[in-house]
Amino acid sequence: MVRVEMGEDLFGFLFYDIYSGRKHNVKKVKTRIFADPAAFFRSLDIELYNKENRDYVPLSETRAVGF
């Protein structure tokens, strides 16, 4: 399971933390801090896109392999 928490700190910087693990065995994998909101959203978008497509196998490939 991957969890992303995001927010704004006291100095106005945007951040997101990425956690990985299950219930009681969660580890912080990555922390990113940004002063520019556009850079924050671009990085977050790329991060989420990569997580969603990491184990994705197109339907056409699964038929060829015989799943």
List pLDDT tens digits, range 12-57.
Answer: 999 999 999 888 899 999 999 999 999 999 999 998 898 888 777 7
The structure tokens listed for 5 are 């928490």
Terminus-to-terminus CA distance in the chain, angstroms? 24
Q: For tokens 């520019």, what's the residue?
A: 36
**pLDDT score of 8:** 95
pTM summary value: 0.68
Q: Identify the sign of the CA torsion 54, 21, 33, 5.
A: positive
- pLDDT for 58 equals 75
pLDDT above 80: residue 59: no
The pLDDT score that the predictor gives to residue 60 is 74
Instruction: Please report the pLDDT score of residue 42 as a whole number.
Output: 95
